[in-house]
């Protein structure tokens, strides 16, 4: 009985570790998705989002996993950010500006393409 509990605990621990390190694991199996150090250093990424938006959270997680530096602005809490968002033609969230390219919605492939 104790062995079964131990196996379940180890399995849960393994799942948590894999989840937390998925970005690193993904790079091993999908090297075309790797963002170079030079690209990271020159990337200019601005994210207009809200706190409650699920796609905004996915976008933040994607950028963090890829190690892409970005500035995030909450368009509900920051009036200046809201004005900048509207001036860019913002409609919907997340709204991402990657090296001058406007990306609407959660679009990992679009973000990677704009970085190159």
Adjacency order of strands within the sheet including 45-49 = 71-74, 45-49, 95-98, 101-104
- Going from N- to C-terminal start, the domains of the chain cover 1-34, 35-115
Neighbours of 115 (CB within 10 A): 19
Q: Dig out the tokens for 50 from the structure.
A: 């809200």
d(CA 17, CA 40): 25
The pLDDT tens digits for 46-69 are: 999 999 999 999 999 999 998 899
Q: Is 92 helix (H, G, I), strand (E, B) or coil?
A: coil
Q: How many CA atoms lie within 13 A of 42 on its CB side?
A: 9
5 has a pLDDT exceeding 70: yes
Residues with Cβ < 8 Å from 84, sequence gap 6 or more?
48, 73
32 has a pLDDT exceeding 60: no
| Single pTM value for the model | 0.67
- The CATH number that domain 35-115 falls under is 3.40.30.10
The pLDDT tens digits for 67-103 are: 899 999 999 999 999 999 999 998 899 999 999 999 9
Q: Dig out the tokens for 89 from the structure.
A: 């033609």
Q: Dig out the tokens for 73 from the structure.
A: 């602005």
């Amino acid at each position: 009985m104790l062995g079964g509990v131990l196996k379940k605990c180890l399995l849960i621990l393994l799942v948590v570790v894999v989840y937390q390190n998925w970005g690193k694991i993904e790079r091993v199996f999908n090297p075309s998705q790797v963002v170079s150090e030079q690209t990271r250093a020159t990337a200019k990424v601005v994210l207009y989002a809200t706190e409650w938006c699920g796609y905004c959270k996915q976008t933040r997680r994607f950028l963090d996993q890829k190690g892409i530096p970005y500035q995030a602005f909450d368009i509900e809490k920051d009036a200046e950010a809201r004005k900048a968002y509207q001036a860019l033609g913002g409609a919907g969230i997340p709204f991402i500006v990657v090296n001058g390219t406007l990306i609407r919605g959660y679009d990992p492939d679009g973000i990677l393409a704009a970085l190159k």
